[in-house]
Structure 1
């Protein structure tokens, strides 16, 4: 999208179900798991470029030997940096003891990261919280093997204050007010309780061999019970992967299915990722063999390699994030590709109306590369209209058509061009506003000579318009130099009106051009009292239980139609100095649901949050805006 927004995050999990020697013999390397983990992470590189991390656990290691390895990086290419660090360990072995590279057991005993359980994470930071300490996986260490915990996830909790208070009441004192810390410590607390409960049970049953008891604890640990207790009061969207020190592992998904999670199992491997194509590509797996973790369920992999999918929380109405389909996930997923094309097709009636059905004098293009697939769908839709137009002109007439008219009708076709090209080498590093605005105006280059000046309408498709800043400061100015009489900016997503609180970096009301448009219209029509009323309700609701709170910000948009807000957005984003008329078209909510019928999570468009904490967040975000506070509305 032309206005970049960030998304948190991506996970990649692998459990090798055979000894490392098996992979050495079959695939020629004991590093099979590491190689596949690297592929899974690179194939999800779109999900996080602010940092990455890897953790591995070795099974059945003798006491006194390291069995947990972890490395995190914030390098510009963090995934490559991590695996270069890991690979160097094996390069040193190959240089000094080349024969050892074929000895899987020796590598496991002597070289870190040669484990059977592997977990990778890709991260986008939010609101400046971007340090190595914020990079997953997180590690909770203990001398008891079964009490060690590694987690990494794609999640945001809306009720961090409530969860922190519960940790205080349990006697804990977390070092930081963050959802990552609360999740880690909450699972860790009930992990400790499970271990202690089993220890006491086996002692009561007359077992005095603590070494044997420790093994029995690992064999009998009820991971689903730990997750049920841990997640009891969580409010948010999450996919969380975790590994316990002795080898049990899990991948859990929130009850509304907000965040994505896919997995594949065969007799050699269990693999889970945030995106399906990563598994397809890395393992050459047919689409129908890859499954989705059910909402409110966890995929649990025991140390012995057995796998089950168990419910840890009552599933709710499925509200999978539609932004995953519109923008974040890679379009190489077959269903996402089809959905994005359909989003483009469904926009055609609005586009044709905006250009007066004048195909001959309209040029169709798109802005960021992520809009390309939807653009293909839009062009298909326009082509369908052209064919129908040709059919009507040729068949529904009484007189004979002339050769000139026939040529004109048959030659009609959409004019499809690559108009704007982003200059990826240009960095707007200058911080002074005036100078920076000048630099931003040159982030995109254009293709000259394709527009008939003063005659053509230029239609440009974007996959979403969030702030409109890049359009105003850069793109529209550049496009206007081409001389179109009209520029129609089309968004394949509906108007973003509300903050996200489940993993997308969109949390402040003032960042949304749709909100700016609604406020502008309220002031222009003398309805500013609606703002004050919504603010008073939002403030009053701050002390209420989240279950009793409504989204009071909806009232700000209710006096106006979608088209009125779109027209005001066009006015806001139009630079004063350009000559072309600017028109803005947004996808409708109904068409979004038609295109993405299995991903109905649309709270950033509709304000209908799938969890009670979402209403708390949107009201807090609005109150912050009214009070002039430029801060995040959730932890």
Structure 2
């Protein structure tokens, strides 16, 4: 993706099912779990650049010892910063002659030598880039079974409602964020479950010192999660640890946010993405499973692993943007889907170049659109194969060898045109300085485009704001002096804000929205904006379940092609000599390519939860009123 957007966060959980001495004997180090966590996080670094953190829970320390240790970082390379810290023992352990690989010694003196790990990679969507907003977050208590650690890939759209519930319960939350709200909501029912079991065992005559182990063994995690998540509206994959050693990962009932797991008799592993687990654990595709929508994976202190349904599953609306861009393309299914997205675009591209293969060059904007590019070329070659057959049939045996050779040798001209400078990382720039930086992120290959003759077709996975296209890519492509530049998006037009984990909450940041506003002005229909604004204001104070997405009406006045033409007009730099055309994927083709991941609210406005309609409603009101605010 050439545009900068903040993407999904990533989670990584590891539960070792054997003593550290087992891994020392089999794998040569007690750091087996720690090393696996590092690889899981590093392989998911695409999912977090604002910060990283991890926590370790030890299961066999005597009272008076710290059994939960956490370290978080917002350094420029937060993963390395975290693991540079956690791989070091306490200072008192660095005495001469100490065997730091001794498991018993390491368990006592390394804060992060333990059985249970939770790691998190943060892309901020709520709150500033402060260490306070980096996961894992903790709720501490002197009773081990009341300690709670959470880390997640999520956004809740109804934080205000949940916040009020906490206040009604008598709490005084320390911050107004969905993270704190989720932590306190789960924590409240964890406390209740502890109290219930305490009274039960007390009435049965157990001593206080005998009750804690019984509570730890019999905590009903399924019940806690059922009650805590009852009124959550949003997308979430939430991982949690309890101080005594239980662990869980819960997924929203719409399946919006992804989560996968693997386990054997040595280890339980959970991560946001399937291929990450495949690579780190060296296991097959069919050995890594998806946590189903509305389901929780629960790992008890004794190592028992179970899957429990905690929310009634709704119609599956897993995020299609995960397939198009966010997740690693090395996943078997995602790779095929991205190729299919490119292949399905080939008829529109052929029409755009007027079927002129001799004077057309095909390329892609690195790096995530490369797979769609392969599919696009496959689709074009399929057309060429049929074309060659027809030409040869028309010849009816009368063609010369040169004629036949000319037909057979015709192939799409494929070149690597755009080159991304990996040392210039746009995500580290703030908005004020980004425009200056972005112009230098890409470079081009000179000498392969025929001046004033060739059409250059270049595919991107999606076009969100169009900022990089206008300020950088189109300008540098124009230096090659093509006759025409066709920019192809493997995703449909992004028209509506996200509210389930991606930082895309403002309508005026979308080039498609800005284009349709310009079209309304061009056609003297600005009154439509006022009409929709009035409808949005009228339902502003309704329950979210009664709200309607009236913003969809603003797009119905114009065709996909009309909006695409206006987008090209807006994005074409003033000094660009080449003609510019933009070709978008259709929603219908998106569903063909990604049939199992139907979450398409970015493109259609069909939000899977009521909170989505409230967010798009608020976002439009903010736009009209000129408020530079988040819509949730």
TM (normalized to structure 1)?
0.97
Partner of 1:442: 440
Provide the secondary structure at the position in 2 that maps to 1:310: strand
Q: Distance in 2 between matches of 1:436 and 1:466?
A: 16
Partner of 1:621: 619
Structure 1 unpaired stretches of 5+? none
**Aligned residues of 1:194 and 1:226 also touching (Cα < 8 A):** yes
Partner of 2:96: 96
**Aligned residues of 2:505 and 2:619 also touching (Cα < 8 A):** yes
Q: Distance in 1 between matches of 2:89 and 2:391?
A: 72
Q: Distance in 2 between matches of 1:593 and 1:25?
A: 50
Matches within 5 A, 1:76-155: 76-89=76-89, 93=93, 96-102=96-102, 104-126=103-125, 129-155=128-154
Q: Which is further off, 495-504 or 117-126? A: 117-126
**Aligned residues of 2:153 and 2:501 also touching (Cα < 8 A):** yes
Q: Deviations over 1:82-141 (max 9, x none)?
A: 111111228985763443513x22322332111111000001123761111110000100
The alpha carbon displacement at 1:248 in A equals 0.8
The alpha carbon displacement at 1:363 in A equals 0.2
Provide the secondary structure at the position in 2 that maps to 1:613: helix
The alpha carbon displacement at 1:398 in A equals 4.0
Provide the secondary structure at the position in 2 that maps to 1:88: coil
The alpha carbon displacement at 1:448 in A equals 1.1
Partner of 1:564: 562
Quickly say closer, same or farther: Cα 1:92–1:345, change in 2 above 3 A: farther
**Aligned residues of 1:464 and 1:491 also touching (Cα < 8 A):** yes
**Aligned residues of 2:89 and 2:109 also touching (Cα < 8 A):** no
Partner of 1:488: 486
Partner of 2:72: 72
**Aligned residues of 1:44 and 1:278 also touching (Cα < 8 A):** yes
Matches within 5 A, 1:339-358: 339-358=337-356
The alpha carbon displacement at 1:431 in A equals 8.7
Q: Deviations over 1:23-44 (max 9, x none)?
A: 1121121111101101111111
**Aligned residues of 2:126 and 2:177 also touching (Cα < 8 A):** no
Matched, 1:26 2:34: no
**Aligned residues of 1:93 and 1:101 also touching (Cα < 8 A):** no
Q: Distance in 2 between matches of 1:158 and 1:431?
A: 26
Q: Distance in 2 between matches of 1:541 and 1:430?
A: 38
From 508, 521, 526, give the equivalent of 1:510: 508
> Would you identify which runs of 4 or more consecutive aligned residues in structure 1 move more than 4 Å?
90-95, 426-433, 435-439
**Aligned residues of 1:241 and 1:250 also touching (Cα < 8 A):** yes
Q: Deviations over 1:342-381 (max 9, x none)?
A: 1110100000010011111100011121111110111111
Q: Deviations over 1:235-291 (max 9, x none)?
A: 000000000111111000000000000001111111100001111111101110111
TM (normalized to structure 2)?
0.97
Matched, 1:191 2:204: no
From 300, 303, 309, give the equivalent of 1:302: 300
Q: Distance in 2 between matches of 1:42 and 1:451?
A: 38
Partner of 1:409: 407
Partner of 2:258: 260
Provide the secondary structure at the position in 2 that maps to 1:96: coil
The alpha carbon displacement at 1:13 in A equals 0.3
Provide the secondary structure at the position in 2 that maps to 1:553: helix
Provide the secondary structure at the position in 1 that maps to 2:101: helix
Q: Distance in 1 between matches of 2:438 and 2:78?
A: 27
Partner of 1:284: 282
Q: Distance in 1 between matches of 2:60 and 2:430?
A: 54
Matches within 5 A, 1:485-634: 485-634=483-632
Quickly say closer, same or farther: Cα 1:402–1:313, change in 2 above 3 A: same
Q: Which is further off, 104-113 or 576-585? A: 104-113
Q: Distance in 2 between matches of 1:286 and 1:351?
A: 37
Partner of 2:472: 474
Provide the secondary structure at the position in 1 that maps to 2:540: helix
Output the aligned Cα RMSD: 1.8
Q: Distance in 2 between matches of 1:303 and 1:601?
A: 35
Q: Which is further off, 518-527 or 133-142? A: 518-527
**Aligned residues of 1:127 and 1:632 also touching (Cα < 8 A):** no
Provide the secondary structure at the position in 2 that maps to 1:369: coil
Partner of 2:38: 38
Partner of 1:218: 216
Q: Distance in 1 between matches of 2:378 and 2:221?
A: 50
The alpha carbon displacement at 1:404 in A equals 3.7
Quickly say closer, same or farther: Cα 1:569–1:68, change in 2 above 3 A: same
Partner of 1:180: 179
**Aligned residues of 2:127 and 2:177 also touching (Cα < 8 A):** no
